[in-house]
């Protein structure tokens, strides 16, 4: 099984490996070697997770052959788009992000998104209020704040491609309601991505429908795991 990989170097000081044909599957490492050791395990977990959610899985991995097809070095820019030590972080634009999305890719991505969302909402709904509101040392947000951040990021991703979305000020304050709102927007807009090749430059960064899909599924999964780490830390 041929696994195409994109490496994003310098994201929070680490390397992020993207399994480009398996949206929502990724791994982190301190360097290239570590991340490529971790990615096979991430893919196996991804396959099991999908098979746990459907009787008609489309992921069947065997004898994985990994090929790093693209490498991106994260950098920061100022308001005039000049490189700077502090500023807007420009994240990966892979050559793969130019490819239009197929119907099947969008259908599968929406299923993954919905299963992720069920997992996220279940966690928020069942954790004790004290855990949800606890300010963990070294963390920017508590767990409810992370949930709001996930929803806010989804609005931001849709904005990258020019979709009209609600302003934060008029969105529900309750994190669960906010997540349900942005879920409805994702489910509304993602089907329209099929076959489109639009590429936009926004704030010094390239965006496409494939990149929005890729980042949306990564971001939600990343923060689900983040919440698990916080909720169950000793």
Q: What is the mean pLDDT of residues 137-158?
A: 96
Are 75 and 106 members of one domain? no
Are 17 and 104 members of one domain? no
Are 106 and 144 members of one domain? yes
Are 125 and 48 members of one domain? no
Are 193 and 128 members of one domain? yes
pTM of this prediction? Answer: 0.96
Distance (Å, whole) CA 113 – CA 117: 6
Which of 92, 113, 136 is the last residue in one of the domains? 92
- Res 1: pLDDT: 82
Are 38 and 16 members of one domain? yes
Is 234 a residue whose pLDDT tops 70? Answer: no
Tens digits of residue pLDDT in 104-135: 999 999 999 999 999 999 999 999 999 999 99
CA 123 to chain CA centroid, Å, is 18
Is 233 a residue whose pLDDT tops 90? Answer: no
Print burial letters for 112-127: b (CB count within 10 Å at least 16), e (below 16). bbebbbebbbebbeeb
CATH number at residue 127: 1.20.120.450
> What is the domain extent for residue 231?
98-234
133 Cβ partners below 8 Å, 6+ apart?
142, 143, 144
Q: 3-class DSSP state for residue 88?
A: strand
Are 88 and 123 members of one domain? no
- Res 152: pLDDT: 96
């Amino acid at each position: 099984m041929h696994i195409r990989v994109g490496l994003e170097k310098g994201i929070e000081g680490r390397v992020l490996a993207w399994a480009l044909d398996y949206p929502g599957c990724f791994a982190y490492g301190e360097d290239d070697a570590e991340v490529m050791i971790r990615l096979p395990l991430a893919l196996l977990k991804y396959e099991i997770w999908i098979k746990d959610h459907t009787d008609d899985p489309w992921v069947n991995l065997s004898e994985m052959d990994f090929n790093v097809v693209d490498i991106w070095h994260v950098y920061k820019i100022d308001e005039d788009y000049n490189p700077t030590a502090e500023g807007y972080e420009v994240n990966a634009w892979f050559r793969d992000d130019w490819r239009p999305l197929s119907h099947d890719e969008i259908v599968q991505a929406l299923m993954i998104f919905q299963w992720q969302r069920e997992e996220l909402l279940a966690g928020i709904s069942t954790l004790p209020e004290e855990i949800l509101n606890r300010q963990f040392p070294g963390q920017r947000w508590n767990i409810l704040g992370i949930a709001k951040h996930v929803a806010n990021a989804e609005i931001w991703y849709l904005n990258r491609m020019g979709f009209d979305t609600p302003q934060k000020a008029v969105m529900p304050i309750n994190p669960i309601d906010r997540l349900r709102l942005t879920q409805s927007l994702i489910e509304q807009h993602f089907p329209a991505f099929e076959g489109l090749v639009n590429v936009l430059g926004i704030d010094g960064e390239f965006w496409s429908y494939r990149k929005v899909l890729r980042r949306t599924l990564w971001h939600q999964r990343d923060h689900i795991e983040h919440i698990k780490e916080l909720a169950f830390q000793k």
